[in-house]
Amino acid sequence: MPLGLLALAISGFGIGLTEFVIMGLLPEVAQTFNVDEPTAGWLISGYALSVAVSGILLTAAVT
């Protein structure tokens, strides 16, 4: 497997892991920030949106 493809696969796995592991921790996140679970869900959605947008912008900036 080419090194670039391996790096891309590992990076994709890492980003996916950070996106989905927080879903299991949603009740604890809501309790920590003293908000209800739907509000904590919006925080997670905001983080996911920022990752998606920054990925596009960084790709455009580097190429």
Q: Is the dihedral of CA 15, 17, 23, 27 positive or negative?
A: negative
pLDDT of residue 56 exceeding 80, the answer is yes
The pLDDT assigned to 22 comes to 84
Lookup: tokens for 38: 């739907």
The pLDDT assigned to 38 comes to 94
pLDDT band at 32 (very low <50, low <70, confident <90, very high): very high
pLDDT band at 47 (very low <50, low <70, confident <90, very high): confident
DSSP-assigned states of every residue in 11-36: HHHHHHHHHHHHHHTHHHHHHHTT--
Cα–Cα distance measured from residue 40 to residue 32, given in angstroms and rounded to the nearest whole number: 10
Average pLDDT over residues 18-23: 82
